[in-house]
């Protein structure tokens, strides 16, 4: 059996009396692409947040190896009054290994510039993040995750709401991360990402319905979400 990058057992998340996750077990295979699918309200984003360490489960456990994690949410709440440029936002990714009190070194700056170039936002580096379109913000957030050069990359809807060229650019960035040996976990309804996944985890009402690449799961994932 291939090694697991993340092992989650019996995850429960109670959100004000509603079980967003109810006894979820998940194994994330190292160096692979795992796609989490399911209808609205199934608990997909909640599971991703727990796996990323961004949310504490009400009960259950998450074991992560020595790899660092980079979490890219679908949207970021950044006040329009904060004078943050696109480069500032992407640079936050490098703080994960640099530490907020240490100056970024040459390798950090290279990672930041490379991430911006890969997502084609280098020309926007000095623009205020708050002035970007939704699609541009999503690309900047993904660049932030890439700048972390983490062993595990967790992405919430990395291609949703993007034009075809931007979505393809994000898929290429994910493929590059996999090629360098990273583990990638996505919440997505993107046909291409689903077909490329080593494993598809289907959630329904906070529980895992299936957790393997099966045609039924792929067909269900591609169905319109109401």
The tokens for 74 are 């679908």
Q: Which residues contact 186 (CB under 8 A, 6 or more apart)?
A: 33, 34, 35, 36, 154, 155, 156, 157, 158, 174, 193, 197
Query: Does 8 have pLDDT greater than 80?
Result: yes
Considering the chain, what percentage of its residues have pLDDT values greater than 70?
A: 86
DSSP 8-state assignment for residue 126: T
CB proximity list for 80: less than 8 A, separation 6 or greater: 128, 130
Residue 124 has pLDDT above 60, yes or no: yes
Residue that has been written with the tokens 């926007």 in this structure = 124
Model pTM score: 0.85
Query: 164 phi and psi, to 5 degrees?
Result: -60, -40
The residue with greater pLDDT, 22 or 66, is 22
Tokens representing 40 are 């609205």
Homologous superfamily (CATH) of 1-67+183-226 is P-loop containing nucleotide triphosphate hydrolases (3.40.50.300)
Answer yes or no: is pLDDT of 26 > 80: yes
220 DSSP β-pair partners: none
> What pLDDT is stored for residue 61 in this prediction?
96
Classify residue 101 by burial, with Cβ atoms within 10 Å: 0-12, 13-18, 19+.
exposed
Give one word for 149, left, alpha or beta, with left for phi > 0 and alpha for psi -120 to 50.
Answer: left
Cα separations in angstroms, 27 against 16, 18, 48: 27, 24, 13
Q: Give, for 145, the enclosing helix (H) or strand (E).
A: helix 134-147
Instruction: Check pLDDT > 70 for residue 216.
Output: no
How many other C-beta atoms can be found within 10 angstroms of the C-beta atom of residue 64?
18
pLDDT tens digits for range 125-183: 999 988 888 888 889 999 999 999 999 999 999 998 888 988 999 999 999 999 999 99
Cβ atoms of residues 152 and 99 within 8 Å: no
Write the pLDDT tens digit of every residue in 69-121: 999 987 765 666 678 899 999 998 887 654 555 577 788 899 999 999 999 99
Beta strands 18-29 and 4-15 are antiparallel
Query: Which three-class secondary structure state does DSSP give residue 136?
Result: helix
Sign for the pseudo-dihedral over CA of 196, 200, 202, 207: negative
């Amino acid at each position: 059996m291939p090694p697991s990058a993340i092992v989650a057992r019996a995850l429960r998340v109670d959100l004000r009396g509603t079980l967003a996750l109810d006894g979820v077990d998940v194994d994330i295979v190292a160096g692979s692409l795992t796609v989490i699918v399911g209808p609205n309200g199934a608990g997909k984003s909640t599971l991703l947040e727990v796996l990323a360490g961004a949310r504490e489960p009400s009960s259950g456990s998450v074991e992560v190896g020595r790899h660092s994690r980079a979490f890219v949410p679908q949207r970021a709440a950044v006040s329009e009054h904060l004078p943050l440029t696109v480069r500032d936002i992407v640079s936050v990714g490098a703080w994960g290994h640099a530490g907020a009190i240490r100056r970024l070194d040459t390798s950090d700056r290279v990672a930041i510039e490379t991430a911006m170039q890969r997502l084609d936002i280098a020309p926007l580096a000095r623009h205020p993040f708050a002035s970007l379109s939704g699609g541009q913000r999503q690309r900047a957030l993904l660049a932030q995750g890439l700048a972390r050069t983490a062993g595990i990359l967790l992405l919430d809807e990395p291609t949703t709401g993007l034009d075809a060229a931007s979505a393809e650019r994000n898929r290429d960035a994910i493929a590059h991360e996999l090629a360098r040996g990273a583990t990638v976990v996505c919440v997505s309804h993107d046909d291409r990402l689903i077909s490329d996944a080593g494993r598809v985890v289907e959630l329904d009402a906070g529980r895992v319905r299936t957790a393997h690449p099966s045609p039924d799961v792929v067909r269900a994932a591609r169905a319109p979400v109401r």
